[in-house]
Amino acid sequence: MKASFDREFSRAGIWNWEQPRIEDELHYAQYAERKGLDSVWQGESRLVRDAMTVMGAYTQVTDEIDIAPGVTNCYTRNVALMAQTFSTLDELSGGRMKLGIGAWWDPLASQVGIERENPLRRMWEYCTVTNRLLELENVTYEGQTLSVDNIELDLVRGDREPRDVPIYVGATGEVMHKLTGELVGKGVAGGVFMNYLIPPEHNLRGLEMLKEGVEKQGGSLADVDRPQLIAVAMDEDPDEAIDAARGLATQYIGQQPHITKACGIDEEKADRIKAELGGWPASAEDIERASRLVSDDVVTNIVAAGTRDDVAERIRDYCAAGCTEPVVYPLTDNMEAVIDVLAEMKAEA
């Protein structure tokens, strides 16, 4: 598959995570909506702010923008609780919710007592049951990783209409992309939420697998919505922008194996970075020491880093590689300026 997709886009969003104050996250969701962006995704990959709580707040301070976790995981919340939570959020938001689900990552999962046995099977079963519950079906399901018996959302006094909450699978690896395509083809999922800190060309193999999966179930790649998280570091001085992104790039290369594999870095260098970090979590001193091993070229390969024009061009590279909705996460302290750039790009498309 060649990079032959449209470089422009009609939808765009932001990713909120770890702002200094929770009020800042609410403000940026409102600002993105005012500027005409389409979605706000709430990060929940580490033990930081709980996405569900913050998204509930978004429902009350915005009117039109779509809201989603980017992404929660398929282990820590019982499948019935997940459906119950998103049924409630769907009511609060007036039908604006999406559900982004990933398979989480080690060592964090194991450190909190989660055994990630067969994450592919877990994702299939979890999405299948969640979708059926949100459709207000009565569900009995006996799977390899979960089972439920005669359950349904108990909406005695609430709205009894099925919840239109599309599921987006957070995918990095090829097999998870294929599984996502099959879930879309079966009508269980709406799309994939493509990962960040990978180069655009990594998307292409993932899209091949998405296509294979969805066509296996009688669909086409056009059926698969493909928003993508994109790390952005924007500054008038491109060197300052690259330096601002180096620390996060270092952490993910050294701590998250799926990113290490996808980012294209030399395996020996990746091992050295991992050794310098010393595991998860890493101290600021560990990150600073390890980041000396991460060159500018490595950073700009996986982050949209540089001037305004550099950032815009790199976002277009991701769209040319199959992203249908860039979702930006600024690593520099200029969220509003990055939103402005994205809004202007969308308006010009």
Where along the chain do its domains lie?
13-231+324-348, 236-306
Whether the per-residue pLDDT at 107 is higher than 80: the answer is no
Q: How confident is the model at residue 2 (pLDDT cuts 50, 70, 90)?
A: low
CA distances from residue 12 to 1, 65, 143, 159, 299 in whole angstroms, order as listed = 24, 10, 37, 30, 23
Rounded Cα distance between 258 and 261, Å, is: 5
Q: What pLDDT is stored for residue 74 in this prediction?
A: 96
Q: pLDDT per residue over 224-263, tens digit each?
A: 999 999 999 999 999 999 999 999 999 989 988 878 888 8
Cβ atoms within 10 A of the Cβ of 334, count? 16
Q: What pLDDT is stored for residue 265 in this prediction?
A: 86
Rounded Cα distance between 68 and 15, Å, is: 9
Report residue 98: phi and psi, to 5°. -125, 160
Q: How confident is the model at residue 22 (pLDDT cuts 50, 70, 90)?
A: very high
13-231+324-348: what fold?
A: TIM Barrel (3.20.20)
Q: How confident is the model at residue 306 (pLDDT cuts 50, 70, 90)?
A: very high
Q: What pLDDT is stored for residue 266 in this prediction?
A: 86
Q: How confident is the model at residue 214 (pLDDT cuts 50, 70, 90)?
A: very high
Q: How confident is the model at residue 3 (pLDDT cuts 50, 70, 90)?
A: low
Q: Decide: helix, strand or coil at residue 165.
A: coil
Are 163 and 90 within 8 A, CB to CB?
yes
Ordered DSSP codes for 111-127: HTT----SHHHHHHHHH
Of 21-30, 123-132, 263-272, give the lowest mean pLDDT range: 263-272
CA distances from residue 102 to 24, 171, 190 in whole angstroms, order as listed = 25, 7, 14
Backbone dihedral region for residue 98 (phi beyond 0: left; psi -120 to 50: alpha; all else: beta): beta
Alpha carbons within 13 angstroms on the beta-carbon side of residue 51 total: 27
Are 318 and 6 within 8 A, CB to CB?
no
Q: Decide: helix, strand or coil at residue 238.
A: helix
Place of tokens 């083809």: 185
Rounded Cα distance between 327 and 316, Å, is: 12
Q: How confident is the model at residue 111 (pLDDT cuts 50, 70, 90)?
A: confident
Of residues 303 and 45, more confidence is placed in 303
Rounded Cα distance between 184 and 258, Å, is: 23
Strands 325-330, 304-306: parallel, antiparallel or unpaired by DSSP? unpaired
Residues facing 191 on adjacent strands:
168, 225
Place of tokens 């994939």: 192
Q: What is the mean pLDDT of the chain?
A: 94
Rounded Cα distance between 113 and 136, Å, is: 31
